Structure 1
Amino acid sequence: MQPESKQATYHSATYHAAGSAIMSFTPINQIHQHLCAFHVYASDHDRHVEAHHFCKHLSHDFHQCVIYDSDKPDAKLIGIEYIVSERIFKTLPQEEKKYWHSHKYEVESGLLQLAPKSFVPGVATDVAEQPAMLELYQSYGKTIHTWAIDVHPDLPLGPPNLMMSCIGDGQGPPAEMLKARDTASGQDTMAKREIRKGYLPPYERDEAADEWAKTGKGVEFVVNEMPVRK
């Protein structure tokens, strides 16, 4: 790739400066929480993706998140997640619940974390994380990735994918992936696991979520061409 010319750099800087002055970014500016976790494909549990969630709480019971593959300036937008409380999850139609996963294990295992700025060890301490983890512990997520970044790193090709989370030991990401995340964030997943044992209350996830655990089958979106309705 050729280096950007000085003229192109100037025009790019001018464009961004002008854009900041005249355009509204109100919905984006309401994002106030950065979470990091690992998603697994609903139909292929050998494929894990590091997922950085940037979330806005529409209410105490309902959060919406945009998901990137990292927290870097050139991060790729790979999907979305909706998070609801257990109260709302229990009201969903049974057919709908198969799209949702629990967060219980993600929280108690330390896999789900508040994400500090890169290379600033200890920013998201256990004390800072506790309110968020207690809230997310009994919540449920519906996650769609529109970019299969692990197989198509350059472009978002193919249909979207339903994603799930781990619900038990031995289901998490490869050790090297977890180590890379901990090193980049200055966190210690296993240490968090031990700390959280001290403050998470007894709780059992709603088995209507994580349907794959009972059926051994995962949802996969398949393209089905239909006559255009007029």
Structure 2
Amino acid sequence: MSNDPEYDATEGGAINYPHFGPDEDYHIIQYKKSPYVIYDKFFHPTLCDKLLNIVEEFPYKKFNNGKSRFEYISLNENIKRKGLRWLRRPLKELVDDANNTNFMIDITSVEFLTLKKFHVGDHWHWHHDCDWWFNPLAFDKKITLLMELSDDSEYEGGEYGEYMSTIPFPKQHLNRGSVIVIPAYYYYNISDIIKGCKKLLVVNVIGPKFR
């Protein structure tokens, strides 16, 4: 995985700090019996700050379907704006790294990015991100990336649950800048926030429809 400077978060040019944390600050957590990969503290805190500063210029929308409740900002319509053009490349490199070494799923591109914010009492019910039964589109969501944007000291609760494995997400490796990569058909949830506020970037990678 390259740590070379790529694009500035606001100007689109070279930057003086890496997108990703230095090698000694992050490592990859892989479990042979669990369908996920965790990149611990992968993204530099400065990048997390820049991403939030840019994205939160857009208004949050509320979501509440009786099972899940949170606020969100969809970046799908704004990803081509100057301040966000740099984002797709490092995310795609990370997903490719996880996919090539673990999942070997047929994927094409990063297409859906959403910032989610969870306040006290908010939660995300059990779900998966691939709806292959009722999806009329020519592609399916194949891989999901969850990027932690809040420090674990900023909230309590908001823990990930996982359905398809007996090995839980290790809390000690879910720090700010850490990334979870999972197949999009993997069931997961986020428990109630007890205190504070949790923010994360949810990224969906698409590919040809599952067969």
Q: Which has the higher helix share?
A: 1
Looking at CA atoms only, which structure, 1 or 2, has the larger radius of gyration? 1
Which protein has greater RCO, CA pairs closer than 8 Å, 6+ apart? 2
Instruction: Say yes or no: TM over 0.5.
Output: no
Q: TM-score band (shorter)?
A: under 0.3
TM-score for the superposition, normalised by structure 1:
0.22
Q: Which has the higher strand share?
A: 2
TM-score for the superposition, normalised by structure 2:
0.24
